[in-house]
């Protein structure tokens, strides 16, 4: 197939870490023999000069039209995001026409891009599919007038939801269950696998005498880095690797590492740890959790539906993400019992086979092709 991908969350030389999980999936589409063209609209301020870095081998033709944005502010019944949306719609239209892009199907990532594609490409009459990976759709839909939102999603021919929570929300908007394929996010097991712990600690200069907790994600309140730090500070001989960045700033003697790293270093840092901890309050389908599982780490995370979709009790302990004492108890129960830790690690590695990105890409394309072959399904 000729697949046109619309996603404003896709890496570039200027922003190599942006949308890496989208990039990884789309590259798998290419490896499966499909011709893929990506249109990734970017804000004007992102178009200014910035020293670039390689974000990996690119097997697609990628276009990055610019658009003007004034953020997302609610002014009465009007949300200023609609200005940016119009700019992206026009950018997609101009790019397709100028470059005479030929496509059989449109794959969009995140609902905003699905809505953009419906408006920008309706004249072509091609089926449009949308991957839903937001942590929540309810708050997102408030930026649109209800009639416009309902009309837009009715123009989408199928949805890939990364959690049962999101599948349920789609159905609450009147989307038939047969139009929804639920498949959690996945990882490239050729890149994310367990390295020798001792070797990785030596490489990064981490002490061998400490038990190490790994946190990966934005340093935001809903992700909970400061709750992790508070829990660990109540334990003896435990340090934390804070991998990421954000407005919150975990500080203290327990912080062994803090900062953003290239994507290839994340599995190495995870392999240096004993347990992965993420007390998140909301997710779509958490890539960081999938990556930690692939590296064989026991998981301590949140007792919320979207995390339950990813974690099996054989390698995870799920608690109230706001309960610091429960986090402390869960972490201690893993790191204080070497045999338990080893068993959870083995179970995580076995379970990681369910998160292979090539299999996920193939199953998504099979769903799309099945919908496309059923002409009556595309009209419903």
What residues does each domain of the chain span? Answer: 2-186+357-378, 197-354
Q: Tens of pLDDT along 94-113?
A: 999 999 999 999 999 999 99
Count the alpha carbons within 13 Å of 335 in the hemisphere toward its beta carbon: 25
Residue 68 pLDDT grade (very low, low, confident, very high; cuts 50, 70, 90) = confident
pLDDT over 90 (residue 84):
no
pLDDT of residue 303: 96
pLDDT of residue 109: 92
Residue pair 159/181 in contact by the 8 Å Cβ criterion: yes
d(CA 131, CA 285): 12
pLDDT over 90 (residue 47):
no
pLDDT over 80 (residue 71):
no
pLDDT over 70 (residue 333):
yes
Pairing of strands 275-278, 66-67: unpaired
142-151, 296-305, 365-374: the lowest-pLDDT one: 142-151
Residue 75 pLDDT grade (very low, low, confident, very high; cuts 50, 70, 90) = low
Of 84 and 36, the structure prediction assigns the larger pLDDT to: 36
pLDDT over 90 (residue 234):
yes
76-85, 201-210, 277-286: the lowest-pLDDT one: 76-85
Domains 2-186+357-378 and 197-354 share a fold: yes
Region 311-340: what's the mean pLDDT?
97
Q: Which tokens belong to 285?
A: 């389908």
Quick one: fold of 2-186+357-378?
Rossmann fold (3.40.50)
Region 283-308: what's the mean pLDDT?
93
| pTM, entire model | 0.81
Residue pair 158/179 in contact by the 8 Å Cβ criterion: yes
Residue 174 pLDDT grade (very low, low, confident, very high; cuts 50, 70, 90) = very high
The CATH number of the domain covering residues in 197-354: 3.40.50.2000
């Amino acid at each position: 197939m000729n697949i046109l991908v619309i996603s404003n969350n896709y890496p570039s030389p200027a922003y190599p870490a942006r949308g890496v999980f989208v990039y990884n999936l789309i590259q798998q589409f290419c490896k499966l023999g499909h011709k893929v063209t990506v249109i990734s609209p970017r804000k004007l301020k992102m178009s200014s000069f910035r020293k670039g870095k390689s974000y990996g081998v690119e097997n697609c033709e990628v276009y990055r039209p610019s658009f003007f944005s004034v953020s997302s502010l609610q002014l009465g019944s009007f949300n200023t995001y609609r200005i940016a949306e119009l700019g992206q719609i026009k950018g997609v239209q101009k790019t397709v026409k100028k470059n005479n892009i030929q496509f059989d199907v449109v794959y969009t990532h995140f609902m905003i891009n699905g809505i953009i594609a419906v408006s920008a490409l309706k004249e072509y009459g091609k089926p449009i599919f949308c991957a839903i990976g937001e942590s929540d759709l309810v708050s997102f839909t408030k930026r649109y007038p209800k009639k416009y939102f309902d009309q837009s999603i009715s123009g989408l021919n199928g949805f890939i939801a990364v959690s049962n929570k999101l599948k349920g929300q789609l159905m609450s908007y009147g989307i038939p269950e047969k139009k929804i394929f639920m498949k959690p996010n996945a990882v490239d097991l050729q890149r994310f696998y367990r390295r020798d712990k001792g070797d990785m600690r030596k490489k990064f200069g981490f002490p061998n005498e400490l038990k190490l907790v790994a946190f990966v994600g934005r340093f935001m309140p809903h992700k909970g880095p400061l709750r992790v730090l508070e829990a660990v500070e109540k334990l003896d001989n435990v340090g934390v690797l804070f991998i990421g960045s954000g407005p919150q700033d975990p500080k203290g003697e327990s912080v062994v590492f803090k900062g953003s790293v290239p994507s290839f270093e994340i599995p190495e840092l995870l392999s240096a740890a004993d347990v992965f901890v993420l007390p998140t309050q909301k997710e779509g389908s958490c890539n960081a959790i999938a990556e930690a599982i692939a590296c064989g780490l026991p998981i301590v995370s949140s007792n919320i539906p979207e995390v339950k979709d990813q974690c099996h009790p054989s390698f995870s302990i799920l608690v109230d993400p706001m309960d610091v004492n429960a986090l402390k108890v869960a972490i201690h129960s893993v790191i204080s019992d070497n045999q338990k830790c080893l068993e959870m690690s083995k179970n995580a590695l076995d379970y990681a086979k369910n998160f292979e990105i090539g299999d996920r890409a193939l199953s998504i394309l099979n769903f799309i092709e099945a919908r496309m072959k059923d002409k009556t399904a595309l009209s419903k």
